[in-house]
Amino acid sequence: MNRNYFDLLKTIVNLTNLNELHILSKCQLDDSSILLDIVKQSSNLSMLNIDSRMLRLLFVNHELCKYLSKMIRKLTLIAACDANEEFDQMNKFWQTFENLEELDCTIEKRQSIRLIKLHE
């Protein structure tokens, strides 16, 4: 997804009516500022469905993390991690999604179970 695609998306979808956003691993984001723009314009957004491999893209943008922390109440996480580097950012995960009311997690690989370890 690049800036041109985002501009096209805004002509098709009224982002203020968006309450659920799905970001799958097939999604190619040029940078996290595009996602930040989507979130800023989606005042009713409260649900996020995301592949765990995409989390790293979210965490590099502190402003985006702040918005997600305030807005997201339900998170559906598709955990498909292969390597430990995905787990290195779990503190950032729990900071970003500190106001979750519901967490759904789909485990695709056995070692991914570590991803949902409760924050201590």
On whether the CB atoms of residues 31 and 2 are closer than 8 A, the answer is no
What confidence score (pLDDT) does residue 37 get?
92
What confidence tens digit (pLDDT) does each residue in 48-86 have? 998 877 877 788 899 999 999 999 999 998 876 554 555
pTM: 0.78
- Cα separation of 52 and 106, whole Å? 10
On whether the CB atoms of residues 105 and 79 are closer than 8 A, the answer is yes
Spatial CB neighbours of 96, under 8 Å, sequence gap ≥ 6 = 58, 59, 65, 68, 69
On whether the CB atoms of residues 42 and 21 are closer than 8 A, the answer is yes
Share of the chain above pLDDT 70, in %: 79
